[in-house]
Amino acid sequence: MFLKKLCAFRFRVQSFTGEKFGQVEKTELDAHFENLLSRADSTKNWTEKIFRQTEVLLQPNPSSRIEEFLYEKLDRTVPSRPNNEELLGHYMQDAAKDFGPGTPYGSTLIKVGDCERRLGSVQREFLQTSAISFLTPLRNFLEGDWRTISKERRLLENRRLDLDSCKARLKKAKLAESKAAAVPDFQETRPRNYVLSASASAAEHELRVAQTEFDRQAEVTRLLLEGISSTHVNHLRCLHEFVEAQTAYYKQCHLHMQDLQKELDRFPNAFAGNPGHSMASGGSSPLDPASAVETDTLKIEEVQAPATGTRKAKVLYDYDAADTSELSLLADELITVYTVPGMDSDWLVGERGNQKGKVPVTYLELLS
C-alpha cells in the first residue's frame, strides 16, 4: 500500500512538473466549473475579511480578541468583565460619592454615570446578539463548509494529475508500439510486439479507471461548489439580522442619551456663570445680562428680606460680581438668600452682613 501511494505521488509530481513546462497535456475543467471555483474562492476571501473586520468592530481590543479565541478553543466560558461604558459609569458614580451627591457636579456625575452603565448594558446585549446571529454563521462557513470544499478540491486535483499521468503513459505506450510496428525485428518481433501491446492495454485500463475516479470526484466537488448559492442566501439573512441588531442598539443608545439630556436640562449648569466660558450650544448664559432683564428693573438696594422664606446657602465656587447689582462670592462661605417677585429663577438675592446683591443659583448649595 505504501509503495502504491509512493508511486502515485511520483506520477503526480511528474505530471505536475510536466504541465508547468508544457510537456504534459493538462485536463481542463469546463467553463461552468471554473466559474464555480472562482465564485467559491471569492466567497471565501470576502467572508474572511468581513468576519475579521466585524470582530474588530465588536471588540477593538486585540488582547481581548486573543483571550476570547483561546477560551473558545479550550471550550471554556469567557469571564464576564465590565465593558468601557460600564467601567466609566462606575467611576463617575464613585466620584460623585466623593464629591458629594448633593452638589451640582456630584448629582450630574450620578446621572451621567447611570446612563453610561445603561449604555454598557445595551452594548453587551448587542455584542451577544451580533456574535450569535452574524459572526457564528460566518465562522461556521470558514471552519466547516469551506474546509470540506478545500479537501474535495485537493482530491479533485490529485485525480486530475492521476488522469493526466495515465494519459501520458498511454501516449508513450502507443508511440512505442507504433515505432515497433514500423521497424520490425524478425527474430523477436512476436514477443516484443506482444509485450508492447500488453503495456498499451494496461495503460488504457488505468486511464479508464482514472477517468472514472476523476469524473466521480468532479461531480462531488461540483455539488459542493453549487452549494455556495445557499451559503449566500444564509449569509444574506444573517446580514439582515446584523443590521436589525445595529439599528436596535443605536436606537436604544439614542433614547438613553435623550433621556439623559432631558434630565440634565432640569439641572442648572454650574459653569453657566463663568465669565470666561463660551457656551458650546451658542445660547445665552443664564448669567448673561440679556437673560436677567427682569431683574435689572429691580433696585437691589431697595429690596427688603421677607419675613419668612429666607434660607442659608453654602457657596460652591468663587464668583466675581459683574456689576454693582451682584454680590461677589467666595467658595465655602455661608450667606442668606431669598427670592423676590419678578426675579429670574436662575438668580437669588444674597446677603452677607450688610452687603446685598444678586447671586447665581448654580453657585450655591441650599442648606435650609
Domain C-terminal end among 234, 266, 298? 266
Q: Which residue has the cell 455556495?
A: 228
- The pLDDT value given to residue 167: 86
Residues 228 and 359 in one domain: no
Q: How far apart are CA 329 and CA 317, in angstroms?
A: 8
Tens-digit pLDDT profile for the chain (368 aa)? 554 455 555 555 555 565 554 555 678 889 999 999 999 999 999 999 999 999 999 888 777 767 776 777 777 777 778 889 999 999 999 999 999 888 888 889 999 999 999 999 999 999 999 999 999 999 999 999 999 999 999 999 999 988 888 888 888 877 776 776 666 555 554 555 555 566 778 888 888 999 999 999 999 999 999 999 999 999 999 999 999 999 999 999 999 999 998 888 775 554 444 444 443 444 444 444 444 434 445 677 777 888 787 889 999 888 888 888 899 999 899 999 998 887 888 889 999 988 899 999 988 988 86
Q: How far apart are CA 295 and CA 344, in angstroms?
A: 7
Residues 113 and 228 in one domain: yes
16 inside domain: no
- Show the domain range for 351: 311-367
107 inside domain: yes
Q: How far apart are CA 225 and CA 245, in angstroms?
A: 31
In sequence order, the β-bridge partners of residue 358 are 326, 349
Residues 190 and 257 in one domain: yes
Q: How far apart are CA 302 and CA 341, in angstroms?
A: 13
DSSP letters, 188-215, are THHHHHHHHHHHHHHHHHHHHHHHHHHH
Residue 301: count of CB within 10 angstroms of its CB: 9
4 inside domain: no
Residue 326: count of CB within 10 angstroms of its CB: 21
Residues 315 and 262 in one domain: no
pLDDT per residue over 209-245, tens digit each? Answer: 999 999 999 999 999 999 999 999 999 999 999 999 9
195 inside domain: yes
Amino acid letter for position 23: Q
201 inside domain: yes
Residues 119 and 53 in one domain: yes
- The pLDDT value given to residue 39: 96
Residues 173 and 102 in one domain: yes
Q: How far is CA 108 from CA 67, 92, 95, 337, in A?
A: 36, 9, 11, 23
Q: Which residue has the cell 468592530?
A: 57
> CATH no. for residue 328?
2.30.30.40
17 inside domain: no
Amino acid letter for position 205: H
Domain C-terminal end among 212, 236, 266? 266
- The pLDDT value given to residue 149: 96
Residues 206 and 140 in one domain: yes
Domain C-terminal end among 250, 266, 282? 266
Q: How far apart are CA 281 and CA 93, in angstroms?
A: 26
Residues 254 and 122 in one domain: yes
Rg (CA), the chain: 42
213 inside domain: yes
**Which is nearest to 239 in space by CA: 309, 134, 353?**
134
Q: Which residue has the cell 468576519?
A: 51
**Which is nearest to 327 in space by CA: 303, 294, 293, 291?**
303
Residues 71 and 184 in one domain: yes
91 within 8 A of 110, measured Cβ to Cβ: no
Residue 41: count of CB within 10 angstroms of its CB: 14
Q: How many domains does the chain have?
A: 2
The three three-digit cell numbers of residue 196, written as one number: 508492447
- The pLDDT value given to residue 191: 56
291 inside domain: no
Residues 102 and 247 in one domain: yes
Residues 347 and 252 in one domain: no
Residues 334 and 245 in one domain: no
> CATH no. for residue 171?
1.20.1270.60
